[in-house]
Amino acid sequence: MLQVVIIGSGNVAQHLIKAFATTLQVQLVQAFARHPENLSHLLPQEKITNSFDDIAEADVYIIAVSDDSITEVSSQLPVKGKLVVHTSGSAGLDQLDAKNRRGVFYPLQTFTKNKSVDFSLVPICLESEHKEDYRLLETLGYALANSVYRIDSAQRQALHVAAVFVSNFTNHLYGIGSTVCKENHIPFDILKPLIKETASKITTLTPLQAQTGPAIRNDKKTLQRHLAFLQNTNQKEIYTLLTQSIQKANEQKL
Amino acid sequence: MLQVVIIGSGNVAQHLIKAFATTLQVQLVQAFARHPENLSHLLPQEKITNSFDDIAEADVYIIAVSDDSITEVSSQLPVKGKLVVHTSGSAGLDQLDAKNRRGVFYPLQTFTKNKSVDFSLVPICLESEHKEDYRLLETLGYALANSVYRIDSAQRQALHVAAVFVSNFTNHLYGIGSTVCKENHIPFDILKPLIKETASKITTLTPLQAQTGPAIRNDKKTLQRHLAFLQNTNQKEIYTLLTQSIQKANEQKL
């Protein structure tokens, strides 16, 4: 059985702790948290430490902290020659201290407090400095999830940017839709089936095949009416820029 | 049993024809198409006409044509004092000829060829010029769908703009994500669970509660790295504008 220590107590750390609790192939031997109370609802007290002096023996150390803290935490970690991975989509392998065998275990999902996630559906992106460690990370990945991908640091950077577009930016467009509804006394619920279907369509069509609406039809009257309707400068700018971008992508068949 | 004639043969018309075929409360007596062959896979020949002279008697005439053609088609329709509705999110009630009792039957969904839609989950937005026609439209709506909303022309305009943000623009962001993946030899499939979860989160959280990512954390290092990564001017502009917009919305708690 693979023995794992998790370092961190944020969203990703907590979702990982919950997910490992459901697997038989992996034993979470300890979690490190500066403030142990952050994890006390998930683990018994004896499994939580806030001191690097007490860190347990394990096969893999998973550093699930904010990107800016990865370097510091990995250099403080008092182990040598061990497999140490971070969980960041954005940080390179080289942000880990070279005293250990380095790797990345990046679950590509949006983790929010108070919203559970089915980890079996989360793609896990793996990278290892040493070839022989890849197999172990793969075992760890498949213990939690159905799909595991080999993604190097340069690809992971690209993937993280792509994820910002399809998730963070998309969610913000939901926010604008919600604001427009509220201002016009329309329940936001009315848009939810549309949001769901839009996300569902690209499982069987490419985004270009799935594109509908006035921009791709170059329906000038509707585009003008919409711009005249929007009073908020920021929303107007976004409308204009994304409309142009849809039309450019359509010309270039992107 | 409500008798219906559909005028049009595009995406919305075809999805409506399919949906009415499954209901017991509504009988589709005829469909009008300039090119009957567009509907020949859906209806027997005797139910399709391309001549307004042959238009059948019905309780409701549903004009499902492009926005620009609504006025012309509704004035050509050789009936008087009948309930005539269009299906557009963007056109006003007044684009229908006043010789008939006017209304709107707007199914708020993204309809694409070769992608079936579960009509029971599509919200139907209704408006009627005459109070007594609303009940009939409601019956028509509930024959197809579980939820029906009273939405006037001004609200429908707002709703259509909101729908462009949450659906057309969102789909385009999926397209940018797909392009970034392709350029970096990453399968787009890896992003699909994230896309699905992002759409699912807003069924239980507000978009602002659901917002994650470097913009809302104001994680300047990651934002700079992402902008340095993006070489395409258009993608850079979208990244910058949406990042600023997320930060503004967060300040104003929108």
Q: CA of B252: how far to CAs of A113, A163, A179, B247, B249, in Å?
A: 21, 25, 12, 9, 5
Burial of B252 (0-12, 13-18, 19+ CB in 10 A): exposed
Mean pLDDT of A190-202: 96
- Would you say A64 and A89 are in contact if contact means Cβ atoms under 8 Å apart? no
State the pLDDT at residue B143. 95
Q: Is the Cβ pair B198, A242 closer than 8 Å?
A: no
Mean pLDDT of A175-204: 96
Cβ contacts (< 8 Å) between B244 and chain A: which residues?
A: 234
Q: Do domains B2-151 and B156-251 have the same CATH topology?
A: no
What's the gap between Cα A24 and its chain centre? Answer: 24
Mean pLDDT of B164-182: 98
**Is A190 a residue whose pLDDT tops 80?**
yes
- The CATH number of B2-151 is which of 2.30.180.10, 3.40.50.720, 3.30.460.80, 3.40.50.620? 3.40.50.720
Percent over 90 (pLDDT), chain A: 91
Q: Is the Cβ pair B186, A159 closer than 8 Å?
A: yes
Percent over 90 (pLDDT), chain B: 91
Task: State which fold the A156-252 domain adopts.
Answer: N-(1-d-carboxylethyl)-l-norvaline Dehydrogenase; domain 2 (1.10.1040)
Is B150 near chain A, with CB under 8 Å? no
Q: Is the Cβ pair A198, B161 closer than 8 Å?
A: no
Q: Which residues 109-138 of A are in CB contact (within 8 Å) with B? A: 109-112, 114-115, 117, 121-123, 125
Cβ contacts (< 8 Å) between A95 and chain B: which residues?
A: none
State the pLDDT at residue B74. 98
Mean pLDDT of B57-86: 96
Q: Identify the band that residue B33 occupies on the pLDDT scale cut at 50, 70 and 90.
A: very high
State the pLDDT at residue B170. 98
Arithmetic mean of pLDDT over chain A: 95
**Is A114 a residue whose pLDDT tops 80?**
no
**Is B252 a residue whose pLDDT tops 80?**
yes
Q: Is the Cβ pair A108, B194 closer than 8 Å?
A: yes
Rounded CA separation A189/B165 (Å) = 15
Q: What is the ipTM of this complex?
A: 0.90
In terms of Cα–Cα distance, which of B199, B218, B215 is closest to B207? B199
**Is A115 a residue whose pLDDT tops 90?**
no
State the pLDDT at residue A28. 97
In terms of Cα–Cα distance, which of B13, B16, B10 is closest to B143? B16
Q: Identify the band that residue B115 occupies on the pLDDT scale cut at 50, 70 and 90.
A: confident
State the pLDDT at residue A253. 76
Cβ contacts (< 8 Å) between B249 and chain A: which residues?
A: 172, 175-176, 179
Mean pLDDT of B85-100: 95
- Residues B156-251: name the CATH superfamily: ProC-like, C-terminal domain (1.10.1040.20)
**Is B111 a residue whose pLDDT tops 90?**
no
Arithmetic mean of pLDDT over chain B: 95
Closest A-chain CA to B159: A181
Domain ranges in chain A are: 2-151, 156-252
Nearest to B172 among A172, A181, A249 (CB): A249
- Would you say B202 and A213 are in contact if contact means Cβ atoms under 8 Å apart? no
